[in-house]
Structure formats: C-alpha cells, structure tokens
Structure 1
Amino acid sequence: MSLKRYCYSCDLKDDSKLIAEYKAYHAAGKAWPEITKSIKDAGIVDMEIYLTGNRMFMIMEVDETFDPEKKADMDANNPKVQEWENLMWNYQKELPWAKNGEKWTVLDQIFKL
C-alpha cells in the first residue's frame, strides 16, 4: 500500500486558556469517537497535529481511497462532525490568507531531502 502525505496549517485564538482547552479535546483518547471514525472512514491512515504558539500543523498519511473533496462531502453530511467543527471554531481562527470559512489550509512542500 502506497501512502500519500497531506500537510495543513491552522491558527488557534491567541488565548492560553482556549489553547489549553483545545489541547485537552485532542489529548490521547479524548477526541470524540465519531470524529476518529470519520477520519479513518475517509482513508486517513494516520494524523498528527503539532502546535507552536498558536499555530498548528497537521500531517496526514492517507491511502489510495482518500479524496479531499469526498472527505469534505462526508463531513458536511455528518451531524456529529458538524457539531465537532462548530465547537472547534470556538478555538480556531482562519489564517490571514485562508479562503472565507477555511480552517485548515494546505501547505506547499518547498523542500525535501
């Protein structure tokens, strides 16, 4: 199985209390099971989120079944995912260059060893 990598970035609101709450929602075993199921059902094999200050970076390893548009459609039609996304908007904010309503923006790879 050949995996593909996608990398994204998003900012959190620059508030230490909100950042701590966001981290607690994402601590091991704390994300809602419906959310992790929707991630796996979309063909995402592994996902990691890293944080520096209030800027986050997400790395996803996906299998051949993953399609970003299909994932967006699946999420839009999943009430529990929409509930989670609305809750996360209390903590997240758009990057200045993001499209309206876009949380996670795709990172362009500019170097590879």
Structure 2
Amino acid sequence: MKRYCLTCDLKDNKELIKKYKIHHEKNNVWPDVIESIKNPGILNMQIFLIHTRLFMIIDAEDCFSMKKKEQMDAENIKVQEWEDLMKTFQQIPDFSKNGEKWVLMDKIFDLDEYK
C-alpha cells in the first residue's frame, strides 16, 4: 500500500468554508467523483481542515499512479465540473511550485522506522 499526503488552502471566508464542508458531507459528494476516486486504486481518502488549511490522506494500492489519476480526472467531464465548483472555495497555496491546488507533501518522520 502507498500513502500520499497533500495540502490545499481554502479562501479565508467563513461562508465559503461552511459551504465547502457541506459539499463534503456524506452523500453530498457526487457519485461520479466517488467513483473517480476508487477506480484508479485509491483504497481510502480522508480530508481534514483547520482554519483554511486542508490536509488530505490517500491510501492506495501499490499499482496506483498519481499521474494516471490526474489524466483520468482530466478526461472525466463530471470530475471537471466538480473541480470547477471546488475552485470557488479553494486557492492555490503560496508554496505551490506548479500552480497545483493540492500539493504533495514530503514525509519527514515515520514511527515504524523505530521498530
């Protein structure tokens, strides 16, 4: 299994953040989007929020490819509609190198290495 951790920022607007959270409540994420998450081999995905900072954890099969997932999403009209909607809430983090909203984080500590 592979694990990916990513971060993204929301616009600093309480009403927008409230709406963003509602869009991510159970049964509010569009079925096509859920399917697009599961299809390329993502086993679990969680998103956490503090103030305007989002933190996403992805657990995926060993064969999972982030590049392939991005390609599949780019070809999926419903996923693109969802992404366009999410752009109203999200902003590109200042430290983004390539203008991506979700920035892959580097792992700097792993307790398992101390066993």
Corresponding residue for 1:110?
108
The match for 1:57 among 32, 55, 58 is 55
* Gap regions ≥5 residues in structure 1: none
Cα distance in 1, alignment partners of residues 79 and 24 from structure 2: 14
Cα distance in 1, alignment partners of residues 29 and 62 from structure 2: 25
Corresponding residue for 2:20?
22
* RMSD after superposition: 0.9
Runs ≥4 residues deviating over 4 A = none
**Partner AA of 1:19 in structure 2:** I
SS across alignment from 2:57:
strand
How far off its partner does 1:97 sit?
1.2
How far off its partner does 1:65 sit?
2.9
Cα distance in 1, alignment partners of residues 40 and 93 from structure 2: 25
Corresponding residue for 1:7?
5
How far off its partner does 1:78 sit?
0.5
Q: Work out whether 1:75 is the aligned partner of 2:73.
A: yes
**Partner AA of 2:49 in structure 1:** L
SS across alignment from 1:56:
strand
How far off its partner does 1:66 sit?
1.1
SS across alignment from 1:83:
helix
Alignment identity in percent? Answer: 49
Cα distance in 1, alignment partners of residues 101 and 108 from structure 2: 21
- TM-score of the two chains, using structure 1 as the length reference: 0.95
- TM-score of the two chains, using structure 2 as the length reference: 0.93
Cα distance in 1, alignment partners of residues 63 and 21 from structure 2: 29
How far off its partner does 1:100 sit?
4.4
How many equivalent residue pairs? 111
Deviations 1:58-94 (A, max 9, x none): 0000012310110011001000000000110000001
